């Protein structure tokens, strides 16, 4: 490890049954030589609490702690994260082992921080205690069943409660209002659990040690914004498809899963991690040898590990940890390829990561730049999993409908060479002048659940000089998932100079014609999946549908609003339309770095002394080159690159360039 430049390891979090082989019998000494050995090699350690994987003796003694995926349906033990972590019998034992382990090792000089639990929020727990506390939560929140009946609209289908005991179980629920409350409550359980652990660990931690947990962002019961509130730093796990999944140009639109697929999606992962606390973050896990199950081994092409690491770093990662060191010869993760292969002999992965380790040491601190802001909202994602606005092409519901509405805009920005800052909807509300200054363009697409305050803030942002881009479904419902009784987009239609009161799903794309002067698009741009029946009521029409019915409505309108502008996009734009739209909207952000070969991306950050760092990637087997637009210094080689000199990128290559002062965009 030391040879390869590894500077930090993570230990202790998967082995409760090693820490405590049987109930109350602890075995703590075994880690000492590991920590000592790390110290001796200048390797820092993040110490984990082992609560995510409970030992078999604990579920044997207290079978009632098994999590329930449906009421009364216990998750059989055998993997991990199977328990109801809210259950006192679990908490009692979890606290005991946390205090034993952390108490023993917190002061070891190698330990720089702590990870509590691991990828929390895997399950929506249906246990009796969880449900009863949910009912209590509703009782306290709404005060009376009459109020709940009214707010949730329970008149239809005879759902009015006569007393709190009437509250039905989540298993059979078909009401969006209930679903949303249930999902919010589930995330609050995770928040509380992580905060509870963090508080225990904080009793032992010194001021210089941080506390975090590692987040798998697609977990159903976690809200990254709220769960990180009790922590010192965000940590996320970034798994991505390697090999051709990282090639550019990329005309695919693959489904994203717990692994992302596509260069833009890798950047989205990083930007999402930044968004949790709006600050730099740690990557606690990412692809080593190859990741996934036994049937999905696709280790990187040479160069791709380095590319991915630099991509994450360029967007705010302050640490890159590889999962994991030595590929396990047994267990479920036998094919979760580590840095070392099963033979234990350093191989290609080790060699590739060694190269990277040396490079990362050369980088100074910087802040990643942003050209546009994209509003995201976790509760909207939740409600659209069960009540999605989009279908698959065959008409079946798309539980990733929320992402299907937002990601095309993010990708449009990416394809246009722009960098995005994601903002959780509850992170809005700050000074609009500041917002306009930081983000000249702000995208709010798919923001189905929105408060009056949020919608008004969006309008104020535009009127203060920002360019607000609205996509389908934004502002359609209130925070109870009730459709608003307004012409849509609610509270924004007037300022947008456009409204709609009907909409249609699309199973096949429709060609879009754009105003060539204002919104030039390469041939063949299409509207996909959804059409709002927009009526231009003062706004200028920028694009229309080529269709005998839908052609009556504009696809894109734009309208001056105060000192700014509101653009309405009535459809899910394809990659051509989305990138053209963003290129137009953010035309002020076009830089000398914007016209690069099709396989090349360039992201940037700003150093404390105000200089611009450029991270230039060539995502291809083909080498390429382009003239340096300004004088630079190559951070990794230390050499100067005068403006006009060819910047050469070999296959799957990265260059990190520091613009010389006085030049730049």
Tell me which residue of 484, 400, 471, 404 sits closest to 442, measured CA to CA: 471
Q: Which is nearer to a copy of itself, 20 or 271 (CB)?
A: 20
Q: Please state, in angstroms and rounded to a whole number, the distance separating the CA atoms of residues 424 and 413.
A: 18
Provide the minimum distance between the beta carbon of 24 and a copy of itself in the complex, in angstroms, as a whole number. 11
Q: Which of residues 163-192 bind a copy of itself (CB under 8 A)?
A: 163, 165-178
Residues 400-439 that bind a copy of itself (CB under 8 A): 401
Q: In the complex with a copy of itself, which residue's Cβ is closer, 169 or 518?
A: 169
Q: What is the H or E stretch that residue 625 is in?
A: strand 624-627
- Binding residues among 526-545 for a copy of itself as defined by CB under 8 A: 533
For a copy of itself, which is the closer residue by CB, 73 or 595? 73
**Interacting residue with a copy of itself among 131, 185, 387, 615 (CB under 8 A):** 387
Residues 271-310 binding a copy of itself (CB under 8 A) are: 289-290, 293-299, 301-302
Judged by CB under 8 A, the chain residues 467 through 526 that form the site for a copy of itself are: 480-488, 501-505
Quick one: 33 or 608, whose CB is closer to a copy of itself?
Answer: 33
Instruction: Output 25 or 140, the one with its CB closest to a copy of itself.
Output: 25
Q: What order of strands is seen across the sheet that includes strand 281-286?
A: 214-215, 234-238, 281-286, 317-320
- Residues 65-104 touching a copy of itself, rule: CB under 8 A, are 71, 75-80, 82
Closer by beta carbon to a copy of itself, 177 or else 269:
177
**321 in contact with a copy of itself (CB under 8 A):** no
Give the nearest distance from C-beta 160 to a copy of itself in angstroms: 4
Phi, psi of 582 (to 5 degrees): -70, -35
Strand order of the sheet with strand 44-48?
8-11, 44-48, 111-115, 210-212
Task: Kindly tell me which of 167 and 309 has the beta carbon lying closer to a copy of itself.
Answer: 167
Shorter beta-carbon distance to a copy of itself: residue 296 or 434:
296
In the bound complex, what is the minimum distance in angstroms from residue 287's beta carbon to a copy of itself? 13
Q: Is 17 in the site for a copy of itself (CB under 8 A)?
A: yes
- The residue (of 479 and 560) whose beta carbon lies closer to a copy of itself is 479
Nearer to a copy of itself, 80 or 318 (CB): 80
Q: How far is the CB of 321 from a copy of itself (least distance, A)?
A: 17
Q: How far apart are CA 580 and CA 327, in angstroms?
A: 45
Please check whether residue 325 is in contact with residue 311, taking contact to mean a CB–CB distance below 8 angstroms. no
Residue given tokens 């005068």 in the structure block: 642
Write down the least CB distance from residue 504 to a copy of itself, Å. 5
We find the least distance from the C-beta atom of residue 341 to a copy of itself, in angstroms, to be: 4
Q: Contact between 328 and a copy of itself (CB under 8 A)?
A: yes
Q: Which of 112, 109, 113, 59 is nearest to 84 (CA)?
A: 59
77 to each of 30, 74, 292, 477, 480, how far by Cα in Å? 26, 9, 21, 40, 36
Residues 37 to 56: which contact a copy of itself by CB under 8 A? 50, 53-56
* Phi, psi dihedrals of residue 364, rounded to the nearest 5°: -90, 175
Rounded to the nearest whole angstrom, what is the least distance from the CB of residue 381 to a copy of itself in the complex? Answer: 14
**159 or 318: CB nearest a copy of itself:** 159
Torsion of CA 499, 505, 511, 512, to 10 degrees: 20
For a copy of itself, the closer of residues 14 and 451 by Cβ is: 14
Give whole-number Cα distances, 154 to 146, 177, 480, in Å.
10, 9, 13
Q: Residue 309 CB, nearest distance to a copy of itself (Å)?
A: 19
User: What x/- string results for residues 614 through 643 when contact with a copy of itself is judged by CB under 8 A?
Assistant: -------x----------------------
Closest CB to a copy of itself among 158 and 365? 158
Shortest distance (Å) from residue 252 CB to a copy of itself: 12
**Applying CB under 8 A, does 33 fall inside the site for a copy of itself?**
no
Q: Does 548 bind a copy of itself (CB under 8 A)?
A: yes
DSSP string of 435-471, one letter each residue: HHHH-SEEEE-S--B--HHHHHHHHHHHHTT-EEEE-
* Binding region for a copy of itself (CB under 8 A) out of 85-93, 391-399, 562-570, 611-619: 391-399
Q: x/- site string to a copy of itself, residues 221 to 260, per CB under 8 A?
A: ----------------------x-----------------
- Longest Cα–Cα distance in the chain: 78
Beta carbons of 445 and 472 less than 8 angstroms apart: yes
Beta-strand ranges (E) seen in 37-77 are 44-48, 68-70, 73-74
Task: Kindly identify the residues of this chain, within the stretch 142-161, that bind a copy of itself according to CB under 8 A.
Answer: 152-161
Q: Which two tokens stand for residue 276?
A: 């949790």
| Closer Cβ to a copy of itself, 486 or 537, answer by number | 486
Would you give the DSSP letter of residue 371? S
Closest approach of a copy of itself to the CB of residue 430, in Å: 30
**Closest distance between a copy of itself and the C-beta of residue 271, in Å?**
25
State the nearest-atom distance from the C-beta of 329 to a copy of itself, in Å: 4
CB of 382 to a copy of itself, least distance (A): 14
Q: How far apart are CA 501 and CA 584, in angstroms?
A: 28
Compare residues 312 and 389 and give the one whose CB is closer to a copy of itself.
Answer: 389
Restricting to residues 550-589, name those near a copy of itself by CB under 8 A.
Answer: none
Number of residues that bind a copy of itself (CB under 8 A): 109
Shortest Å distance, C-beta 535 to a copy of itself: 10
Identify whether the C-beta of residue 312 lies closer than 8 Å to the C-beta of residue 235: no
481-510: b (≥16 Cβ within 10 Å) or e? bbebeeebbbbbbbbbbbbbeebeebeebb
Element (H, E) at 242: none
Q: Tell me, what DSSP letter sits at residue 375?
A: E
Buried b (16+ CB within 10 A) or exposed e, 617-635: bbbbeeebebebbbbbebb
Q: How many CB atoms lie within 10 A of CB 391?
A: 17
Residue 186 Cα distances to 38, 82, 219, 227, 598, angstroms: 38, 15, 11, 12, 44
């Amino acid at each position: 490890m030391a040879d390869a430049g590894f500077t930090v390891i993570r230990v202790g979090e998967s082995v409760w049954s090693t820490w405590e082989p049987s109930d109350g019998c602890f075995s703590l000494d075994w880690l000492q030589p590991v920590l000592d050995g790390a110290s001796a090699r200048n390797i820092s350690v993040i110490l984990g609490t082992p609560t995510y994987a409970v030992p078999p003796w604990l579920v044997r003694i207290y079978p009632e702690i098994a999590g329930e995926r449906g009421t009364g349906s216990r998750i059989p033990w055998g993997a991990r994260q199977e328990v109801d972590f809210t259950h006192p019998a679990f908490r009692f034992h979890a606290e005991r082992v946390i205090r034993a382990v952390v108490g023993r090792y917190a002061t070891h000089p190698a330990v720089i921080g702590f990870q509590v639990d691991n990828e929390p929020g895997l399950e929506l727990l249906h246990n009796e205690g969880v449900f009863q506390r949910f009912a209590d939560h509703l009782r306290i929140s709404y005060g009376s069943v009459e109020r709940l009946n009214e707010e949730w609209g329970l008149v239809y289908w005879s759902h009015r409660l006569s007393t709190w005991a009437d509250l039905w179980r989540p298993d059979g629920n078909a009401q969006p209002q209930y679903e949303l409350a249930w999902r919010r409550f589930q995330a609050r359980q995770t928040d509380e659990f992580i905060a509870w652990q963090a508080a225990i660990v904080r009793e032992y931690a010194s001021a210089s040690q941080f506390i975090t947990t590692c987040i798998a962002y697609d977990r159903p019961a976690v809200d990254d914004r709220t769960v990180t509130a009790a922590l010192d730093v965000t940590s996320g796990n970034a798994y991505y498809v390697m090999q051709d999944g990282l090639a550019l140009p990329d005309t695919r639109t693959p489904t994203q899963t717990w692994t992302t697929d596509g260069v833009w999606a890798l950047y989205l992962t990083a930007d999402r991690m930044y968004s949790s606390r709006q600050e730099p973050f740690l990557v606690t896990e990412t692809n080593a040898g190859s990741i996934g199950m036994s049937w999905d081994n696709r280790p990187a092409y040479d160069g791709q590990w380095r590319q991915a690491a630099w991509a994450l770093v360029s967007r705010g990662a302050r640490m890159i940890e590889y999962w994991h060191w030595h590929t396990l010869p047994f267990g479920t993760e036998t094919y979760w390829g580590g840095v070392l292969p099963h033979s234990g002999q350093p191989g290609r992965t080790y060699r590739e990561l060694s190269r990277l380790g040396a490079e990362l040491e050369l980088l100074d601190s910087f802040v990643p730049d942003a050209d546009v802001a994209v509003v995201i909202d976790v509760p909207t994602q939740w409600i659209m999993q069960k009540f999605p606005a989009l279908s698959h092409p065959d008409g079946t519901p798309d539980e990733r409908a929320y992402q299907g509405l937002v990601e095309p805009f993010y990708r449009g920005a990416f394809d246009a060479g722009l960098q995005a800052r994601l903002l959780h909807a509850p992170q809005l509300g700050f000074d609009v002048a500041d917002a306009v200054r930081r983000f000249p363009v702000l995208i709010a697409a798919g923001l189905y659940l929105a408060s009056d305050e949020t919608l008004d803030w969006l309008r104020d942002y535009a009127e203060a000089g920002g360019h607000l881009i609205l996509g389908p479904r934004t502002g359609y419902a209130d925070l109870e998932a009730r459709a608003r009784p307004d012409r849509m987009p609610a509270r924004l239609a007037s300022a947008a100079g456009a409204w709609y009161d009907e909409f249609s799903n699309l199973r096949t794309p429709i060609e879009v014609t754009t105003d060539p002067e204002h919104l030039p698009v390469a041939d063949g741009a299409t509207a996909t999946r959804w059409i709002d029946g927009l009526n231009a009521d003062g706004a200028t029409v920028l694009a229309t549908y080529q269709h005998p019915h839908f052609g009556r409505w504009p696809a894109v309108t734009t309208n001056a609003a105060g000192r700014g502008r509101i653009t309405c996009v009535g459809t899910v734009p394809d990659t051509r339309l989305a990138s053209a739209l963003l290129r137009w909207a953010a035309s002020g952000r076009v830089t000398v770095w914007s016209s690069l070969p099709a396989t090349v991306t360039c992201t940037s950050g700003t150093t404390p002394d105000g200089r611009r760092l450029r991270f230039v990637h060539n995502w291809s087997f083909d080498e390429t080159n382009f003239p340096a637009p300004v004088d630079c210094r190559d951070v990794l080689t230390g050499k100067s690159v005068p403006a006009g000199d060819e910047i050469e990128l070999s296959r799957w290559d990265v260059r990190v360039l520091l613009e010389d002062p006085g030049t730049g965009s």
